[in-house]
Each structure stands twice: as structure tokens, then as C-alpha cells.
């Protein structure tokens, strides 16, 4: 196998497949950091230009940024490198196998294997693969191959239809990436409130909230919106508008969504929901900053 784009993801997956018994014959990497990861995680593997990596491998792992993937595939097909009969695997959450269409037309075998995990470049990235889900999309005849590769890396294959990849990725990005933003924003606001160690305060609370959400769904919801405390919510919006208009906007949007979900689940009475939404509409629609 060859790794095209030996960054944080490529070097970790390359190492996992190497440990599973595949032979990594070449890797590409532009940055010094990528080349260093090849030396650390794939010792002895030569760093070569992309066409040479593809030419040397039976299985090619494309782990490049989403926006770079279509042009990379098109450009590769425009060279004299043969892709016929080669397994072409990309790890983008955004795309299914359609992004590999140019290579598929000339005999490439397309697979989309997206690891549902964050990678930091630290040594424990490979260990994090154990038990995680991979979003898998492939032509039906190649589905067993795709699933076998995921299992070899220690993951669990989860089938995602081609036309649902964008929705699938939006859900993951909204949950994971925006969670980080919410937590950092909460720590910043607590700091402004005089809390010296916001992360220590938030850790137990957020850990319990995440556990409740994953186990109980919306029925794990607590707090003033779920209780219908319109006055409390209005006070929050007013104070956030004074301290951080950006945080106010996010709070209002999420409070509205929370109220809608709580109402649909029967956790919130219609009259309470109406008062909440009225309070949010009055304060959330103000165009001027306080």
C-alpha cells in the first residue's frame, strides 16, 4: 500500500494497516511535519512524489484535505500512471466514491473509509482507532473489502449511502467541532464571571451532560429551557448581549432548537414553550448591540 498525504490521519491509518500485515511501500508528504511522521510511524518507508507512490502500490490511501481531493484525482488520471485494478481509498467524510469517478472510469476500485475520530498527530492517534466507527461507502461488490479494511484497523464499519455523505458529515462536524467551540466559549464566559479554573468547573457537568445525551437522547435534557423558565432565559440573553453579542446569537439559536425538541418530546408544556419562544424572539431579533 501507499499513503498519499502522510499527515496526522494518513500516518495513523498507514501505521494501523502496517500493523495489520499490509506492506507500506511508499508515502508522499510535502511538509516537514508530514515527513517526520513518516519517519516515526512508517520507518524505512521512502517519501516519494504522488505518481510514484501510486505506481508502487496495490492499495492507495488518499488522506489529503477535502478541497484538494478532486483535483488530485483528476490530475493523477491525467498522468501516465496506471490505476486499473488498484484499490483507491480516501478518508474524507464529505465525499463518497463519486469524487473518485475519474479514476474509476479507467479501472480504479473506489472506496470511501472515513474514521470518526479526531487526530492530533500525537503518538496515541493509532490507539484511538480501536473500536471507533468508520463511515463506509463503496460499490456493492467492494463492500466486503471496505469493511474488512476497517476491521483490520480495529474499527467498526458503518454503511453510509453515497447520497447521504454530506448529511452524515454535517452531523459529525456539527456535533464534534461545534462542541469544542461551545466549551471554549463557556470557559471564556466563566473566566469573565471570575471563575479561576473554568475547565475544572465544567468537566464534571459536561461529562454528565454528554453521557445523558448519548444514553437518553433529548430526555437527558435539563436546565431552564427544559423547565420553561422564560424569565431566566431572558436574563441570560440580556446579560450575554452586554458581554458578548456573538455568544448571545448562538445562545438564542440553540435555545430555540432546544425548546422545539423539548416540546416535541413532551418535556415542555405548550404554554411554557410559547413564553420561551416569545422571549427569545423579542431579544434575539434585536439588530443593535447593547
Cβ atoms of 97 and 104 within 8 Å: the answer is yes
Domain enclosing residue 244, as ranges: 168-284
3-class SS at 135?
Answer: strand
The predicted model scores a pTM of: 0.87
Q: Are residues 119 and 139 in the same domain?
A: yes
Cα–Cα distances in angstroms (integers) from residue 243 to residues 188, 196, 236, 248, 290, in the given order: 11, 18, 11, 9, 9
3-class SS at 289?
Answer: coil
266 lies in some domain: yes
Q: Are residues 179 and 56 in the same domain?
A: no
117 lies in some domain: yes
Q: Are residues 56 and 108 in the same domain?
A: yes
Q: Are residues 254 and 152 in the same domain?
A: no
| Residues across the chain | 290
In the predicted model, is pLDDT for residue 59 greater than 60? yes
The predicted structure's pLDDT at residue 110: 98
The predicted structure's pLDDT at residue 32: 87
Classify burial at 200, counting beta carbons within 10 Å of its beta carbon; exposed 0-12, middle 13-18, buried 19 or more.
exposed
Q: Are residues 132 and 177 in the same domain?
A: no
Q: Are residues 146 and 241 in the same domain?
A: no
Average pLDDT of span 1-9: 94
Average pLDDT of span 161-180: 95
The predicted structure's pLDDT at residue 289: 40
290 lies in some domain: no
From 126, 160, 194, the end of a domain falls on 160
Number of structural domains in the chain: 2
Q: At what angle do helices 32-41 and 8-19 cross, to 10 degrees?
A: 20
54 lies in some domain: yes
> What is the rounded CA–CA span in Å between residue 77 and residue 256?
48
From 130, 160, 190, the end of a domain falls on 160
Instruction: Kindly report, residue by residue over 124-165, the tens digit of the pLDDT.
Output: 899 999 999 999 999 999 999 999 999 999 999 999 999 999
In the predicted model, is pLDDT for residue 173 greater than 60? yes
3-class SS at 116?
Answer: coil
Q: Are residues 152 and 185 in the same domain?
A: no
The widest CA-to-CA distance across the chain, in whole angstroms, is 69
Average pLDDT of span 254-265: 94
Instruction: Kindly report, residue by residue over 103-124, the tens digit of the pLDDT.
Output: 999 999 999 999 999 898 888 8
Q: Are residues 179 and 153 in the same domain?
A: no
From 102, 128, 160, the end of a domain falls on 160
Cα–Cα distances in angstroms (integers) from residue 134 to residues 138, 150, 235, in the given order: 12, 7, 43
Q: Are residues 182 and 96 in the same domain?
A: no
CB atoms within 10 A of CB 241: 20
Q: Are residues 74 and 176 in the same domain?
A: no
Q: Are residues 215 and 116 in the same domain?
A: no
Cβ atoms of 64 and 50 within 8 Å: the answer is no
Instruction: Kindly report, residue by residue over 83-100, the tens digit of the pLDDT.
Output: 999 999 999 999 999 999
CATH code at position 124: 3.40.50.720
In the predicted model, is pLDDT for residue 288 greater than 80? no
Q: Are residues 132 and 192 in the same domain?
A: no
What pLDDT band is residue 282 in, cutting at 50, 70 and 90?
Answer: low
The predicted structure's pLDDT at residue 281: 84
* Mean pLDDT, the chain, integer: 93
289 lies in some domain: no
User: Strand 87-90's sheet: what is its strand order?
Assistant: 26-28, 2-4, 59-62, 87-90, 109-115, 133-137, 156-159
Amino acid at each position: 500500500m501507499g499513503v498519499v498525504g502522510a499527515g496526522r490521519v494518513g500516518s495513523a491509518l498507514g501505521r494501523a494497516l502496517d500493523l495489520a500485515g499490509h506492506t507500506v511501500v511508499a508515502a508522499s508528504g510535502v511538509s516537514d511535519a508530514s515527513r517526520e511522521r513518516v519517519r516515526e510511524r512508517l520507518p524505512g518507508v521512502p517519501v516519494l512524489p504522488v505518481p510514484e507512490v501510486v505506481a508502487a502500490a496495490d492499495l492507495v490511501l488518499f488522506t489529503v484535505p477535502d478541497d484538494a481531493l478532486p483535483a488530485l484525482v483528476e490530475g493523477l488520471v491525467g498522468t501516465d500512471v496506471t490505476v486499473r485494478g488498484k484499490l483507491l481509498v480516501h478518508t474524507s467524510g464529505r465525499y463518497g466514491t463519486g469524487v473518485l469517478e475519474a479514476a474509476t472510469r479507467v479501472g480504479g476500485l473506489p472506496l470511501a473509509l472515513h474514521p470518526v475520530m479526531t487526530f492530533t498527530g500525537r503518538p496515541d492517534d493509532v490507539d484511538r482507532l480501536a473500536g471507533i466507527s468508520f463511515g463506509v461507502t463503496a460499490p456493492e461488490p467492494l463492500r466486503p473489502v471496505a469493511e474488512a479494511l476497517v476491521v483490520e484497523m480495529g474499527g467498526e464499519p458503518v454503511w453510509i449511502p453515497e447520497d447521504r455523505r454530506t448529511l452524515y458529515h454535517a452531523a459529525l462536524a456539527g456535533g464534534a467541532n461545534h462542541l469544542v467551540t461551545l466549551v471554549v466559549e463557556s470557559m471564556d464566559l466563566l473566566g469573565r464571571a471570575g471563575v479561576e479554573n473554568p475547565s475544572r468547573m465544567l468537566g464534571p457537568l459536561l461529562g454528565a451532560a454528554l453521557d445523558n445525551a448519548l444514553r437518553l437522547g433529548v430526555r437527558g435534557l435539563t436546565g431552564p429551557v427544559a423547565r420553561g423558565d422564560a424569565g431566566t432565559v431572558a436574563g441570560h440573553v440580556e446579560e450575554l448581549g452586554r458581554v458578548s453579542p456573538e455568544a448571545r446569537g448562538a445562545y438564542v439559536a440553540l435555545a430555540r432548537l432546544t425548546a422545539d425538541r423539548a416540546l416535541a418530546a413532551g418535556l415542555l408544556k405548550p404554554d411554557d414553550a410559547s413564553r420561551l419562544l416569545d422571549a427569545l424572539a423579542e431579544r434575539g431579533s434585536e439588530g443593535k448591540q447593547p
